[in-house]
Amino acid sequence: LKTNSKLEEEKIGKNEKDVKFLSSWKSVGEKLHKLDLQLKQKNALAFAFIEGSLVKAVENGYWVLLDEINLANAETLECLSGLLEGSKGSICLLERGDKQPVVRHPNFTLFACMNPSTDVGKKDLPAGLRNRFTEFF
């Protein structure tokens, strides 16, 4: 790639359009080179799991407020229900490739807020999850 780009620079004059074109191709070449290096490494994935605020709170015993919880999708709510099971609730991070669940710290507290399901665009929480919270109106 480097040899080819030097040859191309000699062939192409100092025309501004040609210089921009060559610069664009160099950029593409550099990105491809970085991708090639990444694929050759031990961890060949281009994506990595980044631990979020909820997981850090579960591990360290922080408090979390989930606003508009009833707008979350079913998969997210299902993960939360495992976290709220008894005093030994946990969450399994399959996205990270974990086989062992993240055990809830004893001081972890989860608060959730929602508007009534009668509001436009709102839905009710599933009964199994709703029963794990204390409701205030």
The one-character DSSP state at 124 is P
Q: What is the pLDDT of residue 13?
A: 56
The CA–CA distances, whole Å, from 85 to 11, 55, 90, 104, 135 equal: 70, 16, 8, 10, 17
Q: Does the pLDDT of residue 2 top 60, yes or no?
A: no
- Residue 71 token pair: 């707008």
Q: What is the pLDDT of residue 59?
A: 92
pLDDT digits (tens, 9 = 90+) for 7-58: 555 555 566 777 788 888 888 988 888 888 877 776 655 667 788 899 999 9
**Whole-number Å distance between alpha carbons of 124 and 114:** 9
Nearest to 79 by CA among 67, 94, 68, 65: 94
> Do the beta carbons of residue 129 and residue 77 sit within 8 Å?
yes
Assign domain 53-130 to its CATH architecture. Answer: 3-Layer(aba) Sandwich (3.40)
pLDDT digits (tens, 9 = 90+) for 52-91: 899 999 999 999 999 999 899 888 888 888 888 877 888 8
